[in-house]
Amino acid sequence: MKRKLLSAVLSVAMVATLLVGCGSSAEAPAADTAGDTAAPAAEAGSEEAAAPAAEGENTLTVWCWDPAFNINAMKEAEKVYQKDHPDFALNVVETPWQDIQTKLTTAATSGQLDTLPDIFLMQDNAFQKNVISYPDAFSDLTSTGIDFSQFAPAKAAYSVVDGKNYGVPFDNGTVIACYRTDILEQAGFTVDDFTDITWSDYIEKGKVVLEKTGKPLLSCQAGESDVICMMLQSTGGSFFDAEGNPAMTGNDKLKAVMNVYAELVKTGVLVEVNDWDQYVGSLNNETVAGTINGCWIMASIQGAADQSGKWAVTNMPKLEGVDGATNYSNNGGSSWAVTSNCKNLELAADFLGSTFGGSTELYDNIISTGALATYLPAGDSEAYAEPNEFFSGDAVSKKITEFAGKTPSNNTGVYYYEARDAVAVAITNVVAGSDVDSELKVAQDTVSFAMGQ
């Protein structure tokens, strides 16, 4: 794989502007729990935004995006850490994700790593790609004292390369299934009837809901692969083998996922829409009876205030007859990276380990913004046990944290986004009547070509 890193570098540069939240595709402005909101161009391109690692002995410079979400979380972390370290300070520079990717690519390929900050936020699905492509830009955090075992294993795995930890997990992209309980009731069901079920159960019950209410159970964007990726990760499956080579042909898990998706569309249980706005509209306008997505989708659902108390949250369906199949997956999220330009690695690691990797108080403070933890002890706090009246009075934050701990890891590698795009084309053709095996062969050939194989 090393001899192919040049092509990987070029690939990263080409797709930098396409990498957006939650590991989901460019469709979702709410991705990464609404964390992909771009900063104003002037601010992002300012002299301050280009500032390298902080010179102050107890000051760290951080690049991240979204004032209401990621930046707020980092500033709350600063307050928590200052209780025991009053001289500590952060210089938080609002920088859109696309700009972080571009700046990282430029710094690494030009050898100007001193232009990087101490810490920056990295999309989970891009983490391994960047560490593998630009290993000299990242600090190894494995032996810094951060207890990575306290995070959901699948979440921590996103920032692990060759057994080493390069990131501190942050927000939660755990998949949830959300249902309109009043619509299910019209069809004779409750949310319990959709808990711990298989996709076969889901389709059969979905047919009943469609017949009795005229509403599909699920919607998603046509030509995208989010649902495919969520189903695949729920089995522990991947588009690649352990060596990072594309492994789509002969991939029984992926083939099973493709067949289930095609059946969902064929039966009308899933309706495909044209864009993100139509997707959110299908939820808010009562076009569908539910959705399956990263837990950040709750913010969009709650946009329809008049539907409070009519929604409920449970786990997703699992595939039958597939080794490793579970009712749990992930879609999106991000983690904190410490750059090799950090002049005080010990301080950066202690700060991140004491806050995002060690403070339930921090996660209690930011829960109001929708920032849910993958730091497992946070799920035991009183704040996480609070009922959410919008979602039928359920303690959904605690439930989602528990789901995160049961989610299988996902092997993303360097060419994850190319694979997603290729599979998106494949499933479109399969839904139109093409042969699954043939389409997976084309998808694999497409990714192999991108890799220069």
Place of tokens 């709750």: 298
Does 348 or 31 have the greater pLDDT score? 348
DSSP code at position 92: E
**For 181-238, how does the pLDDT look when each residue is reduced to its tens digit (9 = 90+)?**
999 999 999 999 999 999 999 999 999 999 999 999 999 999 999 999 999 999 999 9
CA 297, chain centre distance (Å): 11
- Alpha-carbon distance of 313 to 282, in angstroms, equals 17
**For 248-303, how does the pLDDT look when each residue is reduced to its tens digit (9 = 90+)?**
999 999 999 999 999 999 999 999 999 999 999 999 999 999 999 999 999 899 99
The mean per-residue pLDDT over the stretch 412-429 comes to 94
Band (pLDDT 50/70/90 cuts) for residue 12 is very low
The string of DSSP codes covering 119-181 is EEEEEHHHHHHHHHH-GGGB---TTSS--GGGB-HHHHHTTEETTEE-EEE-B--BEEEEEEH
Can you give the pLDDT at residue 56? Answer: 67
HSE, side-chain direction, 13 A CA sphere, residue 114: 1
Query: Pairing relation of β-strands 59-64 and 89-94?
Result: parallel
Can you give the pLDDT at residue 214? Answer: 98
SS3 for 246? strand
Angle at the Cα of 209 (from 206 to 214), degrees rounded to 5? 115
Instruction: Decide if pLDDT at 159 tops 80.
Output: yes
**For 37-61, how does the pLDDT look when each residue is reduced to its tens digit (9 = 90+)?**
333 333 333 334 444 554 568 999 9
**Which domains are present in the chain?**
2-173+331-383 (3.40.190.10), 175-329+412-451 (3.40.190.10)
The mean per-residue pLDDT over the stretch 159-178 comes to 96
Instruction: Decide if pLDDT at 144 tops 50.
Output: yes
- pLDDT > 90 fraction of the chain, expressed in percent and rounded: 83
Check: pTM over 0.75? Answer yes or no: yes
Among the residue ranges 44-48, 56-60, 153-157, 447-451, the one predicted with the least confidence is 44-48
- Alpha-carbon distance of 311 to 85, in angstroms, equals 43
Can you give the pLDDT at residue 49? Answer: 42
Instruction: Decide if pLDDT at 400 tops 60.
Output: yes
Could you tell me if 260 and 231 are in contact, meaning their C-beta atoms sit under 8 angstroms apart? yes
Can you give the pLDDT at residue 104? Answer: 98
The mean per-residue pLDDT over the stretch 118-127 comes to 96
SS3 for 294? strand
Q: Is 407 left (phi over 0), alpha (psi -120 to 50) or beta?
A: beta
Instruction: Decide if pLDDT at 164 tops 80.
Output: yes
Q: Which residues contact 36 (CB under 8 A, 6 or more apart)?
A: 20, 21, 22, 28, 29, 30, 65, 66, 96, 97
DSSP code at position 187: T
Tell me how crowded residue 70 is: count the other CB atoms within 10 A of its CB: 30
